[in-house]
Amino acid sequence: MNDTVSTAALDEWMRTFARLVAENKEALTDLDAAIGDGDHGENMDRGMRAAVQALDDTRPSTASALFNKVGMTLISTVGGASGPLFGTLFLRIGAALGDTSEVSLSQLATALHAGLDGIVARGKAEAGDKTIYDALAPAVQALETAATDGAHTADALRAALAAAENGRDATTPMLARKGRASYLGERSVGHQDPGATSIALLIAAATPAPA
Ligand code: ADP
Ligand code: MG
C-alpha cells in the first residue's frame, strides 16, 4: 500500500465537506426540525464556513495544525451539540495524525477511531442511540477492515461511505436516547438523524467517485 493522503488533500476534504454542508443546509435543518430544534443545518454551515475562513487565513502545513484549526473553530462558533462533538472529532483526528504531511490509510483509520472515541467520551453515545455515532462507527470499522486487508485508500473510502450511509439510514427506525431528540421518546421513531446525516456528508467529502 503506497497511496498516502497529503495535507493538501486533507485540506480539500474539509473544504468539500463545507460545500456539501452548505448544499444540504436546508435538508439538515428540516431533519432537525422533525426531532430537534431545527438548527442543525445552520449550525454546521456556520461552523464549516468559519473553518474554511480560518484555513484561508492560516494555511496550516501539517495534518495536526489543519484539524486543530477546524476543530477549535467549530467549538468556538457552534453553540449546539454538534459544535463540540464535531469539534472534538477533528481535534482528536489532528492529535492522532500529528505533525505529518503524508497520511497512510491505516493512520487515517486510527485517527478516525480516535475521533470516534472522543465523541463517545464527550457525549456518551452508544450504538443504536440515534446519533452521529451510528454513522461514524460503521465507517471507522470499514476503514479499519480495509486497512488490515491492504486495500487502496480510494476503495477503503468507498467502503466507508457505504457503511456511513447504511448507518445513517439505520437511524430512521431508532428511538433517540441522546441529545434533544431523546426528549421526544417514541415520537423520534421514523425520522433520520440529522447528525448522522452530516457524518455521511463528511465521509462523502473524502470519497472519490466510483472508478
Ligand atoms: P442541538 O441538538 O444542540 O440543537 P444540533 O441540532 O446541531 O444540536 O445537532 C443535533 C445532532 O447532534 C443530533 O442529530 C445527534 O446526531 C447529535 N447528538 C446529540 N447528542 C449527542 C450525543 N450525546 N452523542 C453523539 N451525538 C449526539
Ligand atoms: Mg438542533
Average pLDDT over residues 144-149: 98
Contact (CB, 8 A) for 88 and 122: yes
Ligand 1 residue neighbourhood (C-beta within 6 Å) = 32, 36-37, 39-40, 43, 80-82, 85, 119, 123-125, 131-133, 178-180, 193-196
Average pLDDT over residues 141-169: 97
Contact (CB, 8 A) for 44 and 82: yes
Atom 11 (ligand 1): residue with closest C-alpha?
Answer: 195
The residues near 41 (Cβ < 8 Å, ≥ 6 apart) are: 21, 24, 25, 26, 27, 28, 29, 30, 32, 194
- Euclidean distance between CA atoms 39 and 17, whole angstroms: 18
Mean of the per-residue pLDDT values of the chain: 96
Q: Is the pLDDT of residue 97 over 50?
A: yes
Q: What is the pLDDT of residue 1?
A: 41
pLDDT tens string 19-73? 999 999 999 999 999 999 999 999 999 999 999 999 999 999 999 999 999 999 9
Query: What's this model's pTM, rounded to 2 decimal places?
Result: 0.97
Q: Is the pLDDT of residue 210 over 90?
A: no
Residue 127 CB coordination number (10 Å):
12
Q: What is the pLDDT of residue 211?
A: 66
- Closest ligand 1 atom number to CA of residue 132: 16
| 87 CA to centre of ligand 1 in angstroms | 12
Average pLDDT over residues 9-20: 98
**Side chain identity, residue 17:** F
Average pLDDT over residues 182-194: 97
- Euclidean distance between CA atoms 211 and 168, whole angstroms: 24
- Domains for the chain: give ranges and CATH numbers: 4-206 (1.25.40.340)
What percentage of the chain reaches a pLDDT higher than 70?
99
Label each residue of the chain as H, E or C: CCCCEEHHHHHHHHHHHHHHHHHCHHHHHHHHHHHCCCCHHHHHHHHHHHHHHHHHHHCCCCHHHHHHHHHHHHHHHCCCCHHHHHHHHHHHHHHHHCCCCEECHHHHHHHHHHHHHHHHHHHCCCCCCCCCHHHHHHHHHHHHHHHHCCCCHHHHHHHHHHHHHHHHHHCCCCCCCCCHHHHHHHHHCCCCCHHHHHHHHHHHHHCCCCC
Average pLDDT over residues 173-184: 97
Residue 170 CB coordination number (10 Å):
18
Atom 13 (ligand 1): residue with closest C-alpha?
Answer: 195
Average pLDDT over residues 79-86: 95
Q: What is the pLDDT of residue 79?
A: 86
Average pLDDT over residues 145-153: 97
Best residue among 24, 42, 88, 132 to mutate for probing ligand 1, ranked by most atoms within 8 Å of CB: 132
Average pLDDT over residues 131-149: 98
Contact (CB, 8 A) for 131 and 197: no
| 172 CA to centre of ligand 1 in angstroms | 15
Q: What is the pLDDT of residue 208?
A: 87
